[in-house]
Amino acid sequence: MWFWLASFLFGALRPGYSHTVNQISELGAIGTPYATLWNVLGFGVTGLLLAVVGAVLAGAVGPKRSIAVSAARLMLILAGIALVGQGLIPAEMVDGAADIESAYTRGHFLSSLVTGLAWMIGASLLVRPMSRNERWRGWHVVGIALMLLTIAAAITLRDALPAGLAQRLGNVGFFAWYVLMSVKLVRSGAEAAGNDEAPLAAA
C-alpha cells in the first residue's frame, strides 16, 4: 500500500509521467527529478517493510524448526532486501529508454529478478505449512492463485499492453499476497487473543 501511494505521488511530481506507459523504475532512474527520494522511500522503505513482514508471516505459518519455513523466511527477507537493492542500484536511461549496456541498469534489473524469484520461492515453500495449519488452511490456495496470476501477467501482458500498465498488473499478485496474508495474520492474532481471554472471562 505504501509502495503504490509513493508511486502515484512521485509520478505526479514528474511532468509527462504516465503510469500506463512509463515503468516504475523510471521514477528512480539516474538524473530523474526526485530520484533519490523515490529510491529511498519507494524502493528502500517498501523493501524493508516486505522483509520484516515476510519474516513474521513465515514464522506465524509454521513451526520454527521446519526447514521449509526457515527457508521461506530467508527467501522472503531476500525478496525485500533485493527490492532495497533496486533503489541502491538505479537504472540508467538514454533518450527515454533503459540503457541495457549500463552496469547500473543491469544491476537494477538483476535486483528486480531476485525480488520476484525469491518471493516466488518463499511463497511456494509456505504452501504446504499453510495447508497443514488449521488457522491458515485454505490460504495456501490464495497463495497459489496469486503466484499464478503474477506469472501469467508477466508472461502474457508484456507484449499485449503498454510497458507501464503490464508491469503494474504483474505486480498486483506480488503485493496482494503481502496485503492479504498480513490481514489474515492480524485476524489470527485477534482470534488467538480472544480464545485466551475466554477462559478468564468464564472464571
Residue pair 130/139 in contact (Cβ under 8 Å)? The answer is yes
Question: What is the value of pTM for the model shown?
Answer: 0.88
Q: Does some domain include residue 196?
A: no
**Residue given cell 524502493 in the structure block:** 43
Domain membership flag for residue 202: no
Q: Which 3 state secondary structure label does DSSP give 93?
A: strand
Instruction: List the pLDDT tens digit at each of the 203 positions of the chain.
Output: 899 999 999 999 988 899 999 999 999 999 889 999 999 999 999 999 999 999 999 999 987 678 999 999 999 999 999 999 999 999 998 877 778 889 999 999 999 999 999 999 999 999 999 999 988 989 999 999 999 989 888 888 877 888 888 889 889 999 999 999 999 999 887 665 555 544 444 44
Q: Give domain status of residue 195, yes or no.
A: no
Domain limits at 58? 2-189
Decide if 73 contacts 58 (C-beta within 8 A): yes
- Provide the domain count of the chain: 1
Contacts (Cβ under 8 Å, ≥6 apart) of 20: 162, 164, 165
Among the listed residues 5, 15, 16, the one whose alpha carbon sits nearest the alpha carbon of residue 38: 5
CB 93 within 8 A of CB 121: no
Give a yes or no: residue 194 inside a domain.
no
CB 91 within 8 A of CB 108: yes
C-alpha cell at 152: 501469467
Place of cell 496474508: 181
Cell 496485503 identifies what position?
179
Q: Which of 37, 137, 128 is nearest to 87 (CA)?
A: 37
Bridge-partner residues for 98, per DSSP? Answer: 93
